[in-house]
Chain A
Amino acid sequence: MKALMWKELRENRMKMIIGCVLLSVIGAAVSIAYRFLEGGIPGMGQIPPEYADLIKKLLPDFSNVNAYLYSQWFSKNLQQVGAILAVVLLGSAVAGERELHTAIFLFSRPVSRGMILAAKVIVLFGGLVLAVLVSTGGAVLGALIVGKAPQLAFVLAATLHSVVALIAFASLATLLSVLVPDRVKAMLFSGGILIVLSVAGQFKPLHWLNPLALFGSPNLIVRPVPQLVPIVVGMVLSGCMLWISYRMLQRQEF
């Protein structure tokens, strides 16, 4: 198992490092930008009053840094870049082995397919979670730099939701990676499914389909306690998709 995990880490380290750094930079930049949005950008003049009113109506209350972080980080940048990272990391997990003709070598070694999949999932999910934690740390640090300390309970609850949601997205990408023997197609299918469900979920009768709901609702801002339903749904969905991935991998012929 250790050898398999070492191989995965070695193979995906650049993706994980780039993802982590990129997300952290975005996280810090989003928080630091709070200062400019709150007080206007120096040298660029104030926001014209007609737009300021509009922005106030459209955007959350900028006097509340939790609301700002929720709207601009957890439910926007982390959601979007994190979803891309989840799809890129896991979409190539098994499909990449097939596409690059290394599957026949790997699967003819004396290790079970379950162990191969487990090693991939542990390392790549670990990389994804690490990217969420480090980048959220960057976002919090950025907020502290501009003198706004977000509420710890809120940050922890929103981070937990983000981790659960992104693991669910990554589990979908894992399943597609097992089913589709081409890593680009596996990534496109995973991303496509998430986009279609997100769009469909915007319509009220199909609201329950929206995968972005796994990130929790804006109620987190006022009541920073993890919300049971999205967390349980996210964990159950992830478990089911990983189980199906395992069963499908067991049945596949190489």
Chain B
Amino acid sequence: MNAIEMVDVSKSYGQVQALEDMCLTVPTGSIFGLMGPNGAGKTTSIKLMLGLMEPTAGSLTVLGAIPSGDGTVLRRRIGFVPEDFSLYPHMTGFEILEFNARLYGCSVDENVRRLQTIFELPLARKIATYSKGMRKLLGLYIALSTEPELLILDEPTDGLDPVVRSHFLGVLADETARRNLTVFFSSHILSEVEKICDTVAFMRHGHTVLQDEVESIKTRYRVYTVRFMVGHSPRDVKSIAVQRERDLGQDAWDIEVLADQEQARTAFVDAGGTVLNVQSLPFDEIFMRFVEA
């Protein structure tokens, strides 16, 4: 069973279309990265998954439940670290852990003590005295403390220095390896997504433009430079490719195409093109080409 399934989900705020026919499948037990530029719809997708919003159209299931209907029961199985959030500054670290545990119907137990050996946060201090990095770590601590089946992280390392970021990602990787935890991770920091996620989806203008395993994306996609002579049109291959077009004059076009290797050559030949060059790209460049196209 998949942990999350979104089929043709749309969400609009008045005139603004935040998501449009968004499709996504997150396999159980995976570390899934949702990538996209600011405003692509990542946070909206997460809020829909948590039942904080209702989709305008489409179907969405999380851990087999419908978030907008079973939100309260469903959220008991989810740990969530929001992007832009504050914790109650008058509480101490321990008090917020205890408060959260009571809302989840459990107690501050062995798991919290085990996590404390990993996070090493000053739990007796008030949250108001925590640095930004400590607050983010506390957010992850809180999310993991209730032993969730699904962990949803919205831009969790945004604004963190490299040391804290590395610690954060290390803890996340260890906890995921320890048990069958599904992690849904939204980010625009490409290096960390490439490092930690096994499956990713690229988002642009409110919908997914690609979903695949990280390694598969790196091996499948290549940049082809293809020349089309008069009588042929690069528009014939647009369905399989993301491209930059360069008009060479009245007789020819050169196009630079990011395309799936399995489909590319045949498609180019069928469309009357000649492949001039093939080049592999790093993961972050592939992402950039997809979202810029």
Contact = CB atoms under 8 A, between A and B. Distances in A.
Contact of B84 (A4, A7, A10, A101): A101
B241 to A, nearest CB: 37
B72 A3 contact: no
Contacts, number: 56
Which interface class (under 10, 10 to 19, 20 to 34, 35 or more) fits A? Answer: 20 to 34
Interface string A91-111: 000000000111011011111
Contact of B82 (A7, A104, A110, A253): A104
Contact of A108 (B50, B87, B91): B50
B218 interface: no
Nearest to A100: B86
A102 B85 contact: yes
Given A4-B103, A7-B99, A110-B73, A253 B53 contact: yes
A2 B103 CA distance: 9
Contacts of B84: 101, 104
A253 B68 CA distance: 11
Contacts of B72: 110-112
A53 interface: no
B88 to A, nearest CB: 6
B76 interface: yes
A51 interface: no
A253 to B, nearest CB: 4
Interface string A1-21: 011101100110000000000
A3 B52 contact: no
A110 to B, nearest CB: 4
Contact of A109 (B47, B53, B91, B100): B100
A18 to B, nearest CB: 16
A2 B102 contact: yes
B246 interface: no
